[in-house]
Amino acid sequence: MQSTEQVVPIRTPETTFNDEEVVTVLMPDGRLAPEHDPKLPVETVVDLYKAMVRTRVIDEQLVRLQRQGRIGFHIGSLGEEACILGSAAAMRPNDWIFPCYREFGALLFRGLPLQTYIDNMYGNADDVVKGRQMPDHYTGKPYRFGSVSSPIGTQITQAVGFAWAARFKGKDEVSSVYFGEGATSSNEFHNGLNFAGVMKAPVVFLCRNNRWAISVPSEKQTASRTFADKGVAYGIPAVRVDGNDILATFKVVRECVERAAKGEGAFLVEMLTYRVGGHSTSDDPRAYRMQDEVEQWRRTDPVLRLRRHLDERKAWDEARDEAWRQEVEAELRACITAAEAKPKPTLESMFEDVFEEKPWHLEEQAAELLSGPRAKDHH
């Protein structure tokens, strides 16, 4: 049911982005602000747009699959595609990405086959984590992409440690790590920033400020003026960027990556965006926020914003858009059909990847398990 009360006044895009310190490139009508233009080739901008559309199409279909009971869970990125893909595109191929849990678009952008991702959503025999995690808990070592884990903020200290180790070994690698503004209240955020500040670790902290930490609004999360201000206490330079502007996000993150790679230490980027959907398919945001707020933020849709820019440059049209969407939908349908036909992970796989040599007590447990009946089908 629709809530009749919201814990904070309705927050509009105007109250968020009308701040001179927030870096913006794309105007609402698609024109560029020349002082911040990253001057990307039009072909690159088209590729970024196609990646955003692909992410959106997949996102929407996975929600439908969950509602149909065909997958158990999905946590999407509706409305946040620009900050996720813009920052991922800004990382160099040799850099590492440590995700939160909304960044499946970044992993696909880095080259993970869509079939591999869909297999993870079903937890079938080809799932890279062998059905041991919830859906959307993916990983991709070949793509220099860490593993998703549910506990809030744990990926932050992992990214910092990885970046510091790379610097210690003389490797030209920068780590980036995604987290929501709610994770700034976690121990791992403070531990990670403090260590990175002291040790000058080459890591870029990517705070997706989407205004809601499940049902907690950002205004109730901190007394700091901004989340970027939190970098100051740890000696880490911070910048705020319009996270619904993929070109601005790319420009800011690329500059931070280049400076970190030169030995200038860590950087914090607060990407201002909005979570249009629920926190996950297990959440009904109508219980705690007004739909009027959501509708105002839909006007800043990052996909439509970049589309207006491409229209302005005469680099895209409706026919190409429809053809691309159909191509993505066809690929997705084929991946879903294949995933649903695959068997579950074997029972034996439960005991793999735990010890290099299986100890005697696991041998006994495996034998006992295999001699008994398998549990009934469930997600």
Cα separation of 305 and 31, whole Å?
A: 10
162, two tokens: 């990885």
Residues whose CB falls within 8 Å of the CB of residue 297, separated by 6 or more in sequence, listed in order: 12, 13, 79, 274, 276
Burial of 335 (0-12, 13-18, 19+ CB in 10 A): buried
Cα separation of 234 and 219, whole Å?
A: 22
Find tokens 């939190």 and name the residue.
230
Say if residues 108 and 54 touch (Cβ distance below 8 Å): yes
265, two tokens: 């230490």
14, two tokens: 């105007």
Cα separation of 379 and 123, whole Å?
A: 8
List the catalytic residues.
Answer: 275, 279, 288
The DSSP secondary structure of 174-191, one letter per residue, reads -EEEEEEGGGGGSHHHHH
